[in-house]
Amino acid sequence: MRTRGRWFNRFLGLYFALILLFLYGPILVMAVLSFQGPQGGMTFPMRGVGLHWWTRLFEVRASELQEAIIRTLLVAVETGAIAALFSVVIAFAYRRRLPGSSALLPMVLLALMTPGILLGLGMSLWWRILNFQPGHLALLGVHVVWALPFAFLVMIAVLNRFDPRVEESARDLGASEARTFFEIVLPIIWPGILSAALFGFTLSLNEFERSVLVTSQNTLPLQLWAMLTVQIIEPDLYALGTLTVLITFVIVAALFIPTVIGQFRRLGGATPPSEE
């Protein structure tokens, strides 16, 4: 029984590796194909290997995409900042059980669960009724709605590890509410706030479903969508895709590696499984 369990676990390890292949495989294939030779197409075989499509991306596409890239980054930065700010407020209010926080929680959940196409449609109709031009504000609005639940989850996790007695002792020593927050609480939780902001930034950077009906000005994913559905696609698209994936991975690594190491330190390292 024990040995069979071991075999089963080993099988599961193999299975997990296969799942990772399933998750990463397409991305890897895309990355490889972005190094197609100039005559190469969208699929294998490789007709030569080179940086042809990458150069094309930076020389030809870049100017075409420049506006979209700047717009995307701007919205992403704003989304990250606002989502982080809101998540701090909601998480603190929720922790202190302030009135109103209980009403916010289902709304945050709704924000998570509302299909993107529905929100996008609603936003575009609502702006049409108000006779507003679809644009930056509407886009930012739905992006924050999308990023907020995730930022909130991050903040809840951060605050769960934050000892409320630190706050109490600061107040006990005569610090005002505001001073306590800015001098004691903020320095302790700011890495968490930064994580929440980065989270929001990444989600906004890659957001497509909510944006597509909301704005007439293209963001990078919207431009991609247009290229995919209207134009004939070429391997420089793979180069662009690979680039965005790489940027995202760098952000994810920056987000999680310190958390994981911190977690590990807090727990004082691995303990042998069976001694008391």
Partner 1 sequence: MSSYSLPEAVPAASSRRLSGNAVWALLLSLPLLWLLVFLIVPVLVVLIVSFFQPTLSGFERAFTLDNYRALLSSGPFFSTLLNTLLSALITTVVTFLVGFWVAYYLALVVPNLRTRFALFIIALAPFFTSFLIRAVAWIPMMGREGVLNSALLSLGITSQPLDFLLFSNFAVRVAMAQLYLLFMISPIFFSLSTIEPAVLEAARDMGARWWSILWEILLPLARPGIVIGAVFVFVLSMGDFATVRLIGGGASTSVGLSIQNFVTYMQFPQAAAAASILVLVTVLGVVLLLRWGAIGEEL
Partner 2 sequence: MTILAQNERPADDGLVASGQRGTVVLRGVSKRFGSTTAVDGVDLTIPGGSYVVLLGPSGCGKTTLLRMVGGHEVADAGDILLDGVRLNDVPAAQRDISTVFQHYALFPHKTVYENVEFGLKMRRLSPDERQRRVNEALAFMDLTNLRDRLPKQLSGGQQQRVALARALVTQPTVLLLDEPLGDLDRLLQLRMRVELRTLQRRLRITFIHVTHNQEEALAIADQIVVMQNGQIRQVGSPQAVYRRPTNLFTASFMGDNNILAGRVASVDGDGILLECEGLRLRARSAPEPVVPGQAIHAAIRASTVRVRQEAAAGATLPPNCVAARATFVEYLGDTVKLHCQTASGLALVAKVPEQDPSWQGIREDETDLMLEWDEDDVQLLTS
Please report how close the Cβ of residue 32 comes to partner 1 at its closest, in angstroms: 9
Least CB distance to partner 1 at residue 180 (A): 9
b/e map of 242-270 (b: 16 or more CB within 10 Å)?
A: bebbeeeeeeeeebeeeeeeeeeeeeeee
> Is residue 173 close enough to count as binding partner 1 by CB under 8 A?
no
* Contacts of the segment 64-68: beta carbons below 8 A, 24+ positions apart: 65/220, 65/223, 65/240, 67/218, 68/218, 68/219, 68/220, 68/222, 68/223
Name the 3-class secondary structure at 267. Answer: coil
Site for partner 2 in 244-273 (CB under 8 A): 272-273
* Binding flag, residue 190, partner 1 (CB under 8 A): no
Q: Which residue shows structure tokens 């197609």?
A: 36
**Would you give the distance in Å from CA 182 to the centre of its chain?**
27
Q: Which does 142 bind (CB under 5 to 8 A by kind): partner 2, partner 1, none?
A: partner 1
The yes or no reply on residue 163 touching partner 2 (CB under 8 A) is: no
Q: Rule CB under 8 A: say whether 221 interacts with partner 1.
A: yes
Question: CB of residue 50 vs partner 1: minimum separation in angstroms?
Answer: 18
> In the bound complex, what is the minimum distance in angstroms from residue 60's beta carbon to partner 1?
19
State the Cα–Cα distance between residues 180 and 239, nearest whole angstrom. Answer: 49
- Residue 272 contact among partner 1, partner 2, none, beta carbon within 5 to 8 Å by kind: partner 2
Instruction: Show contacts with partner 1 in window 119-138 (CB under 8 A).
Output: 119, 121-126, 128-129, 138
Contact between 9 and partner 2 by CB under 8 A: the answer reads no
CB of 51 to partner 1, least distance (A): 19
The conformation of residue 46, written as its DSSP 8-state character, comes to: P
Contact status: 1 vs partner 2 (CB under 8 A): yes
To the nearest whole angstrom, how small is the minimum distance from the Cβ of residue 271 to partner 2?
10
Dist CA 91 CA 60 (whole Å)? 46
How many residues belong to the chain?
Answer: 276
Nearer to partner 2 by Cβ, of 9 and 131: the residue is 9
Vertex 255, ends 31 and 201: CA angle to 5°?
Answer: 75
Among partner 1, partner 2, none, the one that 33 touches (CB under a kind-dependent 5 to 8 A) is: partner 1
Contact between 182 and partner 1 (CB under 8 A)? no
Stretch that binds partner 1, among 51-59, 61-69, 97-105, 182-190 (CB under 8 A): 97-105
Would you count residue 4 as binding partner 2 (CB under 8 A)? no
As a whole number of angstroms, the distance between CA 212 and CA 13 comes to 40
With CB under 8 A, what is the number of residues at the site for partner 2? 7
* H-only helix segments in the chain: 2-33, 52-56, 62-95, 101-113, 116-129, 136-160, 164-172, 177-179, 186-205, 220-229, 236-266
Number of residues that bind partner 1 (CB under 8 A): 93
User: Which of these, 36, 62, 67, lies nearest to 235 by C-alpha position?
Assistant: 36
Closest separation between CB of residue 122 and partner 1, Å?
Answer: 3
Where along the sequence are the contacts to partner 2 (CB under 8 A)? Answer: 1-2, 272-276
